[in-house]
Amino acid sequence: MTATLAIGPYNEAERPPLKDSFDAQLIAGPADIAGIDAGLRDAFRAVAYKGHHPFGAAEMDLLPNIGLIANYGVGYDAIDVAAASARGIRVTNTPDVLNDDVADLAIAMWLQQGREMRQAETWLRDGKWESVGSVPLNRKLSGGTAGIMGLGRIGRDIADRLAAFKMDIHYHARSEKQTPGWTYHADPVDLAQAVDFLFVALVGGPETENYVSKEVIAALGPRGVVINISRGSCIDEGALLDALESGAIAGAGLDVFVGEPKVDPRFLKLDNVALQPHQGSGTVETRAAMAKLQRDNIAAHLAGTALLTPVN
């Protein structure tokens, strides 16, 4: 009898390894757990979790013998870790293997927002280069000031890339890091005041909800640009939209949104934003590495050996 329940929107490439390794039963989301026969539910010892639907105490109580929730992704804010710990359930995630891709996309959105390649390509495709002339000038990026909100694994990889663009690096996190030449700001508003480009790489969840507040956004000023690859919840999205529409800040590059995959239609009317459908880690290579790390954690749990990347 299968011991692993795979929950989430696994794609064609991800399903066979879960089946081959664990004979996993697959369901689309946590809402489908209750539909599984109680006898089968009792047999599950591990969950392979993917997606952003909340997975809390009620779902865990439907699976009384699981000892592990192995999350596909580094951000585990969808999982109630306190509820898991209270039930003796371990949680794992997939850190580090996705840092490069997420940092690359942050830089790509920054370049797109400043250098307006999408608009420039439309200019070319519409024949305006020939009929009107040169595309309107855009904005120099290299050599400016950048702030990283959350200098963790991904934040540090973004900062390393920005250093190669000769940027003056500032950052905020809960604690100061050993980063010679980079400037620490204990206060998020101070960080925003010091820079033109603010990259958000915080963890999600209740503790960081609206962390990029109305005050932080105002402190960025009219040349300010927000790039967010963390979670939509980390930014006061209403305040961001107001600032983008009024010109209180210059623009944004966003891979994550409140209530995604629904995106506030106000964003779609703006030309000063680069919008991406939460695809930071979305390369073939990195998704395969994430899936493997998830499976390795499940295998370790079922074998009774040490988990590779535990959260609790």
Q: Which are the catalytic amino acids?
A: 231, 260, 278
Q: Is 174 left (phi over 0), alpha (psi -120 to 50) or beta?
A: alpha
* DSSP conformation letters of 183-226: EE-SSHHHHHHH-SEEEE----SGGGTT-B-HHHHHHH-TT-EE
Minimum Å gap between C-beta 287 and ligand NAP is: 10
Contacts of 130 (CB under 8 A, 6+ apart): none
Residues 50-79 that bind ligand NAP (CB under 6 A): 74-75
If binding is defined by CB under 6 A, does position 231 make contact with ligand NAP?
yes
Place of tokens 């307006």: 116
If binding is defined by CB under 6 A, does position 258 make contact with ligand NAP?
no
Q: First CA to last CA across the chain, in angstroms?
A: 28
Size of the site for ligand NAP (CB under 6 A): 28
When CB distances to ligand NAP are compared, the closest residue is 152
Task: Reduce the DSSP state of residue 107 to 3 states and report it.
Answer: helix
Q: Which is nearer to ligand NAP, 217 or 256 (CB)?
A: 256
Residues 277-296 that bind ligand NAP (CB under 6 A): 278, 280-281
Q: Of 6, 100, 131, 71, nearest to 311 (Cα)?
A: 71
Q: Which is nearer to ligand NAP, 66 or 74 (CB)?
A: 74
Name the segment binding ligand NAP (CB under 6 A); options: 3-11, 14-22, 137-145, 274-282: 274-282
Which one of residues 7, 66, 69, 229 is an interface residue with ligand NAP (CB under 6 A)?
229
Residues 89-128 that bind ligand NAP (CB under 6 A): 95, 98, 102
d(C-alpha 79, C-alpha 89), whole Å: 11
d(C-alpha 295, C-alpha 249), whole Å: 43
Q: Which residues bind ligand NAP (CB under 6 A)?
A: 74-75, 95, 98, 102, 150-155, 173-175, 201-204, 207-208, 229-231, 255-256, 278, 280-281
